[in-house]
């Protein structure tokens, strides 16, 4: 079976999930990877056959999106060329983790595909939304990377096609500890802003991961670390709690470990506002922004914040079972499925 796996490289969550999923996905056939995006701090530790800057999100240093930079890195003419030339018709399965070019190529060439990942969950109205829905935000989530089938991931199984998060083996195998520091990962803030915020909370040691340094730096009660998947995981295992954005993968890992979480979604980022609504419904502390009340709210959270722990250890098995049982029933443009299904049924992952 030939599989095209399209991975969105905006931020680090999609790449982190792909690195965990790939060894399991390779049991089913030959994988070609299409990596699209221009602002991930992590590299994908696997051969990449197709690469594009695609459509990327960029952040300013004050908790919001940098729209000018997003426009600068988007080339509509080149996008159309990539959509036309991407050979999606040569694959038995196109698996798309919220990647625009692959979705558009499949739609143009009438090729079946599966959107897989967190954003796929938002096709269900059962998934939590903020009190004030955004018509534009809903349209982006549902129209950006359309597919013929969806396999979603979320904090809870809100619908039949939604599964719990895929967690790194490092986290799954860990024995959580509390070494007395608070971990911080707020990618829409820069080092200077983070330093101003957290050095004034002098009684608490902070370990902060940020994209704009190359080496470890300590300033008063704050230690800054460059982005590193392995080091971040180890620090998450050892922290008292984590302050992070309204993303998906990092809060999911913290929930699996039973860590205290404070989520501060990126301003005007609708998906993150939806995630915050889901986290709040579980009792987790979420703030709209960092303002002059933050210091008091932080100490209240540190002393009394709710801790949620859930077991996410079986997600990969469940979601791949769903995907490949769906493929078995697809007629038409997946000619190798019938031949390969006997091989798929023999894999331990389906048992």
Q: What Cα–Cα distance (Å) separates residue 238 from each residue in 93, 108, 229, 333?
A: 39, 48, 15, 48
**At residue 344, does pLDDT exceed 50?**
no
Burial 140-158 (b: 16+ CB within 10 A, else e): ebeebbbbebbbbbbbbbb
Q: Of the ranges 10-19, 50-59, 211-220, 270-279, which one carries the lowest mean pLDDT score?
A: 50-59
Q: Assign 3-class secondary structure to 234-299.
A: HHHHHCCEEEECCCCHHHHHHHHHCCEEEECCCCCCHHHHHHHHHHHHCCCEECCCCCCCHHHHHH
Angle of helix 249-257 versus helix 229-238 axis, rounded to 10: 40
pTM (predicted TM-score)? 0.85
Give residue limits of the domains in the chain: 2-166+314-350, 169-304
2-166+314-350 shares its CATH topology with 169-304: yes
What pLDDT is attached to residue 157?
96
What pLDDT is attached to residue 118?
94
What does the DSSP 8-state code read for residue 35?
A: E
**Residue whose token pair is 């890992």:** 253
Chosen CATH of 2-166+314-350 out of 3.40.50.720, 3.20.20.80, 3.40.50.2000, 3.40.50.12280: 3.40.50.2000
State the fold for domain 169-304.
Answer: Rossmann fold (3.40.50)
Largest CA distance in the chain: 64
Q: Mean pLDDT over residues 317-325, rounded?
A: 88
Q: Mean pLDDT over residues 106-126, rounded?
A: 94
Please check whether residue 180 is in contact with residue 205, taking contact to mean a CB–CB distance below 8 angstroms. yes
**At residue 5, does pLDDT exceed 70?**
yes
**At residue 347, does pLDDT exceed 90?**
no
**At residue 287, does pLDDT exceed 60?**
yes
**At residue 38, does pLDDT exceed 60?**
no
**At residue 9, does pLDDT exceed 80?**
no
Half-sphere exposure (CA, 13 Å, Cβ side) for 348?
Answer: 1
Q: What is the mean pLDDT of the chain?
A: 85
> How many other β-carbons are positioned within 10 Å of the β-carbon of residue 294?
18
């Amino acid at each position: 079976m030939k599989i095209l796996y399209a991975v969105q490289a905006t931020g680090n969550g999609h790449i982190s999930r792909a690195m965990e999923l790939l060894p399991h996905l390779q049991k089913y056939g030959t994988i070609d990877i299409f990596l699209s995006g221009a602002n991930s701090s992590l590299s994908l530790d696997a051969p990449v056959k197709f690469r594009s800057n695609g459509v990327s999100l960029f952040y300013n240093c004050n908790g919001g999106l940098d729209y000018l930079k997003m426009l600068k890195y988007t080339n509509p003419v080149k996008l159309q060329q990539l959509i036309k030339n991407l050979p999606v018709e040569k694959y038995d399965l196109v698996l798309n983790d919220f990647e625009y070019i692959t979705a558009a190529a499949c739609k143009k060439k009438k090729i079946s595909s599966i959107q897989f990942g967190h954003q796929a969950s938002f096709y269900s109205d059962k998934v939590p939304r903020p009190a004030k829905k955004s018509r534009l935000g809903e349209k982006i989530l549902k129209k950006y990377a359309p597919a013929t089938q969806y396999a979603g991931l979320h904090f809870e199984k809100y619908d039949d096609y939604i599964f719990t998060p895929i967690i790194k083996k490092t986290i799954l195998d860990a024995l959580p500890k509390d070494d007395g520091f608070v971990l911080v990962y707020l990618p829409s803030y820069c080092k200077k802003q983070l330093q101003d915020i957290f050095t004034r909370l002098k009684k608490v040691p902070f370990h902060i991961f940020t994209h704009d340094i190359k080496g470890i730096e300590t300033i008063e009660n704050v230690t800054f670390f460059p982005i590193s998947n392995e080091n971040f995981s180890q620090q998450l295992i050892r922290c008292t709690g984590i302050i992070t954005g309204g993303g998906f993968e990092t809060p999911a890992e913290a929930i699996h470990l039973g860590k205290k979480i404070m989520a501060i979604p990126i301003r005007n980022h609708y998906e993150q506002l939806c995630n915050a609504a889901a986290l709040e419904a579980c009792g987790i502390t979420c703030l709209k922004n960092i303002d002059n009340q933050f210091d008091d709210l932080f100490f209240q959270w540190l002393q009394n914040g709710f801790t949620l722990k859930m077991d996410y250890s079986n997600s990969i098995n469940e979601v791949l079972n769903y995907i490949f049982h769906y493929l078995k029933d697809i007629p038409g443009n997946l000619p190798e499925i019938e031949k390969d299904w006997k091989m798929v049924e023999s894999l331990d992952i389906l048992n």
